[in-house]
Chains A and B, each alone.
Chain A
Amino acid sequence: MTRNKTLWLAVGGVLLVVLLAVLPLLAIEIPGVLPGPTYTPGTLQLIAYAMLIAALALSYRMMFGLAGLLSFGHALFFAAGAYGLGMTLDAFGPAEWPSELIFLGSIVVTLAAGFVLAATVGALALRVTGISFAMVTLAFAQAGSVLIRRNPGGATGGDEGLALDIEHVPGALVGVLNTRNLYWVALGVLVFVYLVVLWVEQSRAGHVAAATRENELRVRVLGLRPYNVKLLIFIVASVLAAVAGMGYLLLQSGAAPRVATADFTLTLLVIVVLGGVGYRWGAIVGGIVYTLLDQRLTALAGSEFIAGLPAVLRVPLSEPLFILGTLFILVVLFLPGGIAGIPQRIRSGRASHPAESEEVADA
């Protein structure tokens, strides 16, 4: 990539962020995509949620797309962020401490806990590779999910979910009227995650990780230890997921057990592949498209139009996940570069696939 192009991309990125930042001050309406004008809390809430999911997807893509680690347990770390912060806010700090200190302290504690969890799970799971790694991460996430549903000591709220205890949360981040501030927090999380991911990808570790994905043997021959690099990527991605999870807790004023399930991780996988595994911004596009699509499809499912259809059409069309799952299969089969890969496909005029060469080594 030339210097010039990099510069333009950076300028474009900054402009995009600025545009997103002033969105709450504008009254843009996109009928059929957004539920209302952009200054309304409902719309801001939806976009903020989409941005957090995009941030989470970015962290997932770093693991899967960059390092080739197919984890089925990423939801565990998102949930760790959300539940971790919620539970520490509940339990943490002598009452005489100032609220700000408790709030910040809780964030630090949650991050530390997320780090320890990520290091432990990563160190164990990375003992195996490929599909076994996927299964092992799935099992750990499942354990987390079970634990949350069990509601040990009433800490997680079980199936009901955990409600955010707002006692120590800064007032500016509480309530519908402050959705705008939460929106900015979500945007901040997205930008932060993006910058960290960018930094990791362009670091030496990132290059080694990418080389490992392409050809582990060669990396070993060069005398590098792929395990350490993979573990590093795993931990960074997991902590970033926890950061997104904390944003989610604040935005939703609570955490639902759904975010710890294997299905939630599968959703992330769908997002990343939908957006395009080979591209960083693919995860962002995927996250936003998916969230909006999910919301719109759910609205569509309840619409009169659908209710009037014969059963063969009505039943599948009223299930958003059916449509998304089918879409996903079609993307994997026919659009290997995902949405972000479309311009590239049009330019080169053929079906190129960024991760094509992955499998030959094992054959």
Chain B
Amino acid sequence: MSTIVLLLITGLGLGALYFLVASGLSLIYGLMGVLNFAHGSFLTISAFLGWEVGRRVSDGTWWGLAISAIVGIAVGAIVAALTEYLLIRRLYERHIEQALVTVGLSLATVALFEGIWGTDPIYTARPEWLTQTTEILGAKIPNDRFLLIACAVIVLGGIVLFLKRTRYGLIIRAGVENRQMVTALGIDVRRSFTLVFAIGGAAAGLGGVLASVYYGYVSAHLGSVLLIFAFIVTVIGGLGSLTGAAVASVLVAVLQQFANYYLGGTGDLVVVVALAAVLLIRPRGLMGKIA
């Protein structure tokens, strides 16, 4: 029983990370049809800069972590918005080329990060409490899992509120469904593209800082690893669906944890099998719009 609880909550924590990456990917894809390979780099640069600033202000404390998070969110949002504005926008509606540019950006930036911060992981200091465990139903749960879950829930709530309550949110939801019809109502949908990139980048930025808490290190490849799982999550959840991304994040991460524990470390493979199964039964994903 305690093992199951541990696996569940750890899975939820990992799922939280996946969601922070996948939410942006899914929204960006849903609205603009852009597959953003640079999303992992948004995460990595935010993790590095968040860590650099946070440790200078106050290393290994809550205050330092909060600073890291704020810096990470800001960096993620700014870098993402700039990417959209400077690179993606020039290739308006040419989805393949847009994806290619993000591929180039991801290759170049990962190499750059390696050049600046080296190829080895850099271990980070965390607030005392996050390194401890809490006992729930007999299971000793690492405390950082709770932080991750809480942050992901807040982000999910925040994005949902934004989508439901603001005019831009309305435009984005409509655009995910039928972008052409939005422009045919006299709305310049491109303005919301930058916004969606910024939101996705901010979530990924927070994800970067939290990933460094979860793994205990920052590295140039932090984003690349998470990105692949986030891709899988987005496809399983249904491209363009935020709720789908949330549900699939949790399903994938929990499945992965259980398979790693009970099936001899085969979590990654089981996830791919799950992806194949979803595609066979429901090609548009759990909650995706009809392709």
Give A contacts to B, CB under 8 Å: 70, 124-125, 127-132, 134-136, 138-140, 142-143, 146-147, 150, 262-263, 266, 269-270, 273, 315-316, 318-322, 324-326, 328-329, 332-333, 336, 355, 358-359, 362-363
Q: Mark B19-32, 1 if CB is under 8 A from A, else 0.
A: 00000000001000
Contact, CB under 8 Å: A363 / B291? no
**B275 close to A136 (CB less than 8 A):** yes
For the complex of A and B, list the 10 residue pairs with the smallest distance between their C-beta atoms, beginning with the closest: A325-B108, A325-B107, A321-B111, A328-B104, A322-B111, A329-B104, A143-B272, A319-B111, A315-B115, A131-B35
Per-residue interface assignment for chain B, residues 90 to 104, with 1 indicating a CB less than 8 Å from any chain A CB and 0 otherwise: 110111110111011
Q: A269 to B275, Cβ gap below 8 A?
A: no
Q: Assess A326 versus B104: contact at CB under 8 Å? Given A136-B235, A142-B228.
A: yes
Please classify the interface of chain A as helix (H, G, I), strand (E, B), loop, or mixed, using the class held by over half of its residues.
Answer: helix
Residues on the B chain within 8 Å of A266, using CB: 37, 103, 106-107
Verify if B112 is at the interface (C-beta below 8 Å from A).
yes
Shortest B25–chain A CB gap in Å is 10
Footprint of A on B, CB under 8 Å? 29, 33, 35, 37, 87, 90-91, 93-97, 99-101, 103-112, 114-116, 180, 224, 228, 231-232, 234-235, 239, 265, 268-269, 272, 275-276, 279-280, 283, 291
Cβ A147 vs Cβ B269 within 8 A: yes
Interface Cβ pair total, 8 Å cutoff: 131
CB nearest neighbor in A for B29: A131
User: Complex Cα distance A263/B111, Å?
Assistant: 12
A306 to chain B, nearest CB (A): 11
**12 A-B contacts, Cβ less than 8 Å apart?**
A128-B235, A134-B35, A135-B235, A139-B228, A140-B276, A262-B224, A266-B106, A321-B110, A325-B111, A326-B104, A326-B108, A336-B97
Q: Which chain B residue shows the least CB distance to A318?
A: B115
| Contact A134 B283, beta carbon cutoff 8 Å | no
Contacting B107 at CB < 8 Å: which of A127, A150, A324? A324
A124 to B104, CA, bound (A): 28
B107 to chain A, nearest CB (A): 4
Contacts of B95 in A (CB 8 A): 130-131, 359, 362
Are A139's CB and B272's CB within 8 A? yes
Partner of A131, one of B33, B90, B276: B33
Contact indicator B114/A139 (Cβ below 8 Å): no
Known A-B contacts: A135-B35, A266-B107. Give 14 more (CB < 8 A).
A128-B291, A131-B29, A135-B235, A136-B235, A266-B37, A319-B115, A325-B105, A325-B109, A329-B101, A332-B91, A332-B97, A355-B96, A358-B94, A359-B95
Of B33, B101, B279, B291, which is within 8 A of A333 by CB?
A: B101
Which residue of the partner chain B has the closest CB to A358? B96
Knowing A270-B107, A329-B104, A355-B96, say if A143 contacts B231 (CB, 8 Å): no
Please name all residues of chain B whose beta carbon is closer than 8 Å to the beta carbon of A124 when the two chains form the complex: 276, 279-280
Tell me the bound Cα distance from A127 to B291 in angstroms.
Answer: 11
Residues in A neighbouring B239, C-beta threshold 8 A: 131-132
Q: Assess whether B96 is in contact with A270, with CB atoms less than 8 Å apart.
A: no
- Which of A124, A125, A142, A324 has the most chain B CB within a 10 Å cutoff? A142
A329 to B37, CA, bound (A): 13
Q: Choose among A140, A269, A333 the residue with the greatest number of B CB atoms under 10 Å from its CB.
A: A333
A325 vs chain B, min Cβ distance (A) = 3
Check if B231 sits within 8 Å of A139, measured CB to CB.
yes
Q: Specify the chain A residue showing the minimal Cβ separation from B221.
A: A263
- Contact B107 A143, beta carbon cutoff 8 Å: no
Contact of A359 among B93, B104, B112 (CB under 8 A): B93
Q: A318-B115, A328-B103 are in contact. Are A262 and B279 (CB under 8 A)?
A: no
Query: Would you call A329 and B87 a contact (CB within 8 A)?
Result: yes
Chain B proximity of A156: nearest CB distance (Å)? 14
Q: Are B107 and A263 in contact (CB under 8 A)?
A: yes
Interface centre among A270, A321, A332, A355 (most CB of B within 10 A): A332
Q: Which residue of B lies closest to A134 (CB)?
A: B35
In the bound complex, what is the Cα–Cα distance between A134 and B35 (angstroms)? 9
Are A273 and B29 in contact, CB atoms less than 8 angstroms apart?
no
| A315-B116 in contact (CB<8A) | yes
Q: Across the interface, do A332 and B275 meet the contact criterion of CB distance under 8 Å?
A: no
Closest-by-CB residue of A relative to B114 is: A319
User: Chain B residue with minimal CB distance to A150?
Assistant: B265
User: Considering the chains assembled together, what is the distance between the CA atoms of A315 and B109 in angstroms?
Assistant: 12
Q: Which residues does chain B contribute within 8 Å of A322, judged by CB atoms?
A: 107-108, 111-112, 115
Q: How far is the CA of A322 from the CA of B107 in the complex (A)?
A: 7
On chain B, the residues within 8 Å of A140 by CB distance are 272, 276
Contact pick for B231, options A138, A316, A358, CB 8 Å: A138
